[in-house]
């Protein structure tokens, strides 16, 4: 099987971690008889430096014409003072919108080999953390209208947070379908005691839940969710929520594992096209030092195989290889433990590839 992958290495450690994911994908291709055709596109700060924009029209077309997109990371302090309209992060919003990537899947899984790295007590995480946050990605306050104006002698900023029934139903259905494939348990996160958007969200989700009687459905307020993720994270299977809440909660959940470097993510459209990336940032302070953790990116590549290419066995092989490397005691600096072998970014990629 031949698949076209648009590769967006980006800024900071992005090129380093993406290289290791491609190393692993190439090993998968060799073993399972596939071929992956990579097209490289500049995105973020490096694109601003070259072309004056965070992604070019030509680069966007390559993303649209691919079977999937693999992203490293964008941004850094170098571009903090550029015009807000061309900040590196603008490219991510543009790609999500242009490709129709409305559903963001962020798994949080505590690998048993790294249980000691979790900031939570062992009696809390001992049962194992394995949850998935389904985040709406193209609506809400991040895409609503905004303005800053002078009112009565002072500056006033306004951000609008719109959601339609169809947008809520679309992401809600992804949440229910995902829950059906996992533990058949779904919690819908909102702020219905305050926000009109959340009241519409809850009403729409209740109606949708009637189509999925096998799923144990519940509503939970976003502030309580934040508390419960610390108090009792093992109670959750799938959580579905709007854009801003999902952005915050998924970052909180990622730290339950002890290292944000381990966490992959998938952003999906209504078809098979998706964008896959680790959830950490560009880490410019360690860029070029070959010490970044590539496992989040490698696991994102596994999600690509599973969700966009329908290659479940190949995805399983990558995940099993990561587990084997951890079992064998290899660690990058961010997850280093006593008695383990510290390895570089490229060495970690080699070790995973060898175990495919």
Which domains are delineated in the chain? 1-101+260-356 (3.40.718.10), 119-257 (3.40.718.10)
Q: How confident is the model at residue 85 (pLDDT cuts 50, 70, 90)?
A: confident
DSSP 3-state of 305: helix
> Which residue of the set 11, 42, 190, 247 is catalytic?
247
What does the block give as tokens for 353? 């590839």
CA atoms of 101 and 66, how far apart (whole Å):
14
Q: How confident is the model at residue 163 (pLDDT cuts 50, 70, 90)?
A: very high
CA atoms of 262 and 283, how far apart (whole Å):
14
pLDDT, position 14 = 97
> Which residue of the set 64, 251, 324, 350 is catalytic?
251
Q: What is the pTM of this model?
A: 0.87
Active site residue 191: yes
CA atoms of 128 and 115, how far apart (whole Å):
9
Active site residue 223: yes
How many Cα atoms within 13 Å fall on the side-chain side of residue 352?
A: 36
Task: Taking residues 66-81, report their average pLDDT.
Answer: 95
Helix (H) or strand (E) holding 8: strand 2-10
Q: How confident is the model at residue 309 (pLDDT cuts 50, 70, 90)?
A: very high
pLDDT, position 272 = 86
> Which residue of the set 32, 38, 40, 142 is catalytic?
142
What does the block give as tokens for 36? 């992956």
* 56 CB-contact burial (10 Å; exposed 0-12 / middle 13-18 / buried 19+): middle
CA atoms of 308 and 305, how far apart (whole Å):
6
> Which residue of the set 4, 23, 184, 191 is catalytic?
191
Q: Which of 135, 140, 20 is nearest to 70 (CA)?
A: 20
pLDDT in tens, 200-245: 999 999 999 999 999 999 999 999 999 999 999 999 999 999 999 9
CA atoms of 192 and 201, how far apart (whole Å):
8
Helix (H) or strand (E) holding 203: helix 196-209
CA atoms of 97 and 143, how far apart (whole Å):
9
pLDDT in tens, 147-161: 999 999 999 999 999
> Which residue of the set 49, 83, 159, 223 is catalytic?
223
CA atoms of 24 and 307, how far apart (whole Å):
17
DSSP 3-state of 215: coil
Alpha carbon 176 to chain centroid distance? 19
Q: Is 259's pLDDT higher than 80?
A: no
């Amino acid at each position: 099987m031949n698949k076209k992958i648009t590769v967006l290495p980006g800024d900071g450690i992005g090129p380093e971690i993406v290289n290791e994911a491609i190393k692993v994908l190439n090993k998968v291709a060799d073993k399972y008889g596939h071929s992956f055709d990579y097209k490289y596109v500049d995105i973020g700060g490096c694109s601003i430096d070259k072309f004056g924009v965070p992604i070019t029209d030509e680069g966007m077309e390559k993303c649209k014409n691919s079977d999937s997109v693999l992203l490293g990371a964008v941004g850094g302090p170098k571009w903090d003072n550029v015009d807000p309209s061309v900040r590196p992060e603008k490219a991510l919003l543009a790609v999500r919108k242009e490709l129709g990537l409305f559903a963001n899947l962020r798994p949080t899984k505590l690998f048993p080999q790294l249980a000691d790295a979790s900031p939570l007590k062992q009696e809390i995480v001992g049962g194992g953390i394995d949850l998935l946050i389904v985040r709406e990605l193209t609506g809400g306050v991040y895409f609503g209208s905004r303005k800053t104006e002078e009112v009565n002698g002072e500056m006033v900023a306004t951000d609008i947070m719109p959601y339609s029934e169809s947008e809520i139903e679309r992401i809600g259905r992804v949440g229910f379908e995902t829950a059906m494939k996992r533990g058949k348990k779904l919690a819908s996160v909102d702020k219905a005691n305050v926000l009109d958007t959340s009241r519409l969200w809850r009403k729409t989700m209740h109606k949708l839940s009637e189509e999925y009687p096998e799923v144990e459905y519940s509503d939970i307020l976003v502030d309580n969710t934040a508390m419960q993720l610390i108090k009792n994270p093992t109670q959750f299977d799938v959580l579905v929520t709007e854009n801003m809440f999902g952005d915050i909660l998924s970052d909180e959940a990622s730290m339950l594992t002890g290292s944000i470097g381990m966490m992959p993510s998938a952003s999906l459209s209504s078809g098979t096209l998706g964008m896959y990336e680790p959830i950490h940032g560009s880490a410019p302070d360690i860029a070029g030092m070959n010490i970044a953790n590539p496992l989040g990116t490698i696991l994102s590549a596994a999600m690509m195989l599973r969700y966009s290419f329908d290659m479940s066995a190949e995805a399983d092989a990558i995940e099993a290889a990561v587990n084997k490397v951890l079992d064998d005691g290899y660690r990058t600096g961010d997850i280093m433990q006593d008695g383990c072998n510290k390895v570089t970014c490229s060495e970690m990629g080699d070790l995973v590839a060898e175990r495919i």
